[in-house]
Amino acid sequence: MNLTEKKIDGKQVYNGVIVNVRMDQVELPNGKAAPREIVDHPGAVAVLPLDEDNNVIMVTQYRYAFETEMLEIPAGKLNPGEDPWVCALRELKEETGYIPGEMLPLGASYSSPGFCTEVIYLYLARYLEKGEATPDEDEFLKIEKVPLDDLVDRILQDEIRDSKTVAAVLKAKAMLERY
């Protein structure tokens, strides 16, 4: 069975700062038409910086969407046309000051593929050298080291819910054990 939905019409319904929204009409496999409301996002990167003692450099930020501070791995949005690997190095340095000697891909994460185009490219950064953090003027964050195994425990206890952090921590843990 071919599940493809073909675009038959569409219009831009919101042009924002971070996201745009379009409302497309598609033809379903049964020939009927249906609306598809899609949030377009530029994409992002997230980096799990792991030191030689198996601590992760974590960032705490206020997340206005949830009205709470959240513990996450360092991350940031892609600039237009920017290479994800370059962006990951830049964001890691800006937010934490660390420069990695090695940065390995941990795959990508589709945050919410039912309605949003956001892709987050994940990396594992190791052999860290400390430089100076240079956060944006209006970026407020706290940096702390947390043992990787503590992060795994806190994810399993539902204390960490950020999808990119969950994906990167559990994938890194499995890969480091496996290879």
The CA-to-CA distance between both ends of the chain, in Å, stands at 38
Q: Which C-beta is closer to a second copy: that of 33 or that of 86? A: 33
Q: Which of the residues 52, 67, 137, 177 is marked catalytic?
A: 137
**Min dist. Cβ of residue 22 to a second copy (A):** 10
Per CB under 8 A, contacts with a second copy among 15-44 are 16-19, 21, 23-24, 26, 28-30, 32, 34-39, 41, 44
**Helix or strand (DSSP H, E) at 126:** strand 119-130
- Known catalytic residue at 102: no
Q: Does 69 bind a second copy (CB under 8 A)?
A: yes
Q: Which of 9, 14, 79, 86 binds a second copy (CB under 8 A)?
A: 14
Q: Which of 51, 90, 99, 111 binds a second copy (CB under 8 A)?
A: 111
Q: Which residues contact 34 (CB under 8 A, 6 or more apart)?
A: 5, 25, 26, 28
Q: Does 99 bind a second copy (CB under 8 A)?
A: no
d(CA 97, CA 165): 19
User: CB under 8 A: which stretch of 50-58, 86-94, 100-108, 125-133 binds a second copy?
Assistant: 100-108
d(CA 150, CA 109): 22
Q: Which residues contact 162 (CB under 8 A, 6 or more apart)?
A: 70, 71, 72
Q: Which residues contact 153 (CB under 8 A, 6 or more apart)?
A: none
Q: Which of 8, 86, 104, 156 binds a second copy (CB under 8 A)?
A: 156
**Min dist. Cβ of residue 129 to a second copy (A):** 25
Distance of CA 103 to the CA centre of its chain: 16
**Min dist. Cβ of residue 20 to a second copy (A):** 10
Q: Does 140 bind a second copy (CB under 8 A)?
A: yes
User: CB under 8 A: which stretch of 84-92, 95-103, 112-120, 125-133 binds a second copy?
Assistant: 112-120
One DSSP character per residue, 15-58 reads E-SS-EEEEEEEE-TTS-EEEEEEEE---EEEEEEB-TTSEEEE
Q: Which residues are catalytic?
A: 137
